[in-house]
């Protein structure tokens, strides 16, 4: 049992990582095409205080967007905003507190945003964590599940009506979900989403990233069926040198450092796929894709399972206490 539940996900995850590194060794990082200005458009980037989220926020602000960086470290948030404005950006950046591990905090964040009466043209569900030892939140959720997936599920639903109102044909509102190649190793444990049985941090991370791909496809179907001008895509940035790897075991950490210098992408390179999904003219009106290195790719077989997508959506609604819109 232990071998299957703990060692299995670990090996699968490292196998995914090795495949990505070989790809990155043989292929250049994707180069963004020229992007049109996005003046006046409003974006929320979760986890925009550092790493790829920061680079995404910085780039979007340079395109003229009003970017709200949503994160749970107030000081880091202020520093990020100051740095972006210090570059003389044509857009605007501001920080707002949200702790995505707390559904209460997600609700408060969404309500404060709603109270401002702003439109919302882009929601980037970027914040995340990886390989944290087993932890439950006050509300009883497993850490990877709630921070990477469920918190974003709730946030998206609480802001969906504004996204719908803010989009129009030719100028869709956009949702970008930050997934990962690790989703290929993911299994949705529908009867144990909080991974109480035989916890594996590797399995929990991979599951949360698969959840985001399932959410992407299901939501796009609903939005298209409803005739709304909102697109949803999942992106995979490759392996990127950020603080995300801080929880690796010390041996893996020591091995990662020299490899990362040569083979990992920089945070700006990793963020380019998110910026592409958010602002490239080629992506206007295009949704329901899994994007990697600037191209649409096949995601895992289970991510296309329509029954699983619907089941996860329904269960997620129940877990966060909302009616399926």
Ligand X SMILES: NC(=O)c1ccc[n+]([C@@H]2O[C@H](COP(=O)([O-])OP(=O)(O)OC[C@H]3O[C@@H](n4cnc5c(N)ncnc54)[C@H](OP(=O)(O)O)[C@@H]3O)[C@@H](O)[C@H]2O)c1
| Catalytic positions, written as ranges | 205
Cα angle value 301/302/308 (rounded, 5°): 150
Interaction of residue 186 with ligand X, rule CB under 6 A: no
What distance in Å separates the CA atoms of residue 13 and residue 16, rounded to the nearest whole number? 5
Interaction of residue 53 with ligand X, rule CB under 6 A: yes
- Whichever of 128 and 186 has its CB closer to ligand X, that residue is 128
What distance in Å separates the CA atoms of residue 207 and residue 158, rounded to the nearest whole number? 23
Which residue is associated with the tokens 């893996």?
252
DSSP string for 149-192: IIHHHHHHHHHHHHHHHH-BTTB-EEEEEE--GGGGG----TT-
Query: Among 4, 11, 197, 243, which residue interacts with ligand X (rule: CB under 6 A)?
Result: 243
Query: Among 23, 76, 171, 247, which residue interacts with ligand X (rule: CB under 6 A)?
Result: 76
Residues 11-40 that bind ligand X (CB under 6 A): none
Length of the chain: 325
Query: Among 67, 99, 183, 289, which residue interacts with ligand X (rule: CB under 6 A)?
Result: 99
Report CA dihedral (28, 32, 34, 35) to the nearest 10 degrees: 180
Give the x-and-dash track for 135-154 against ligand X (CB under 6 A).
------------xx------
Q: Please state the closest distance from residue 53 (CB atom) to ligand X, in A.
A: 5
Q: Are 302 and 184 in contact (CB under 8 A)?
A: no
Residues 117-136 that bind ligand X (CB under 6 A): 126-130
Q: Please state the closest distance from residue 93 (CB atom) to ligand X, in A.
A: 14
> Bridge partners of 168?
171
Question: What is the token pair recorded at 135?
Answer: 């932890």
Interaction of residue 157 with ligand X, rule CB under 6 A: no
Q: Please state the closest distance from residue 290 (CB atom) to ligand X, in A.
A: 12
Residues 222-241 that bind ligand X (CB under 6 A): 237, 239-240
Total Cβ atoms within 10 A of residue 4: 10
Interaction of residue 203 with ligand X, rule CB under 6 A: no
**Nearest partner of 163 among 276, 42, 56, judged by Cα:** 42
Interaction of residue 216 with ligand X, rule CB under 6 A: no
- Whichever of 46 and 200 has its CB closer to ligand X, that residue is 46
Residues at the site binding ligand X, with contacts judged by CB under 6 A: 46-47, 49-53, 71-73, 76, 98-101, 126-130, 147-148, 178, 180, 237, 239-240, 242-244
């Amino acid at each position: 049992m232990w071998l299957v539940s703990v060692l299995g996900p670990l090996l699968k995850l490292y196998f995914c990582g090795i495949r990505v590194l070989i790809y990155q060794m043989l292929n250049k990082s994707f180069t963004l095409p020229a992007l049109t200005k996005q003046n006046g458009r409003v974006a929320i980037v979760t986890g925009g205080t550092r790493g790829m989220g920061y680079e995404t926020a910085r780039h979007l602000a340079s395109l003229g967007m009003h970017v709200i960086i949503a994160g749970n470290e107030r000081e880091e948030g202020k520093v990020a905003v100051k740095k972006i404005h210090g570059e003389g950006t044509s857009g605007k950046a501001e920080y707002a507190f949200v702790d995505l591990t707390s559904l209460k905090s997600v609700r408060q964040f969404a309500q404060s945003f709603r109270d401002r009466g702003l439109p919302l043209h882009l929601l980037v569900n970027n914040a995340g964590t990886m390989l944290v030892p087993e932890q439950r939140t006050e509300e009883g959720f497993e850490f990877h599940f709630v921070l990477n997936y469920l918190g974003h599920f709730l946030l998206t639903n609480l802001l969906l009506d504004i996204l719908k109102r803010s989009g129009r044909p030719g100028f869709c509102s956009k949702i970008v979900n930050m997934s990962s190649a690790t989703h290929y190793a993911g299994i949705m444990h529908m009867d144990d989403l909080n991974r109480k049985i035989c916890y594996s941090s590797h399995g929990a991370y991979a599951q949360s990233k698969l959840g985001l791909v399932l959410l992407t496809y299901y939501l796009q179907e609903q939005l298209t069926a409803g005739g709304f001008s909102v697109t949803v895509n999942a992106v995979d940035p490759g392996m990127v040198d950020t603080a995300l790897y801080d929880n690796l075991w010390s041996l893996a950490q020591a091995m990662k450092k020299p490899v990362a210098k040569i083979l990992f992408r920089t945070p700006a390179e990793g963020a380019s796929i998110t910026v592409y999904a958010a602002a490239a003219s080629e992506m206007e009106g295009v949704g329901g894709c899994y994007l990697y290195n600037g191209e649409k790719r096949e995601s895992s077989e289970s991510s296309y399972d329509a029954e699983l997508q619907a089941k996860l959506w329904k269960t997620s609604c129940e877990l966060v206490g909302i009616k399926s819109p």
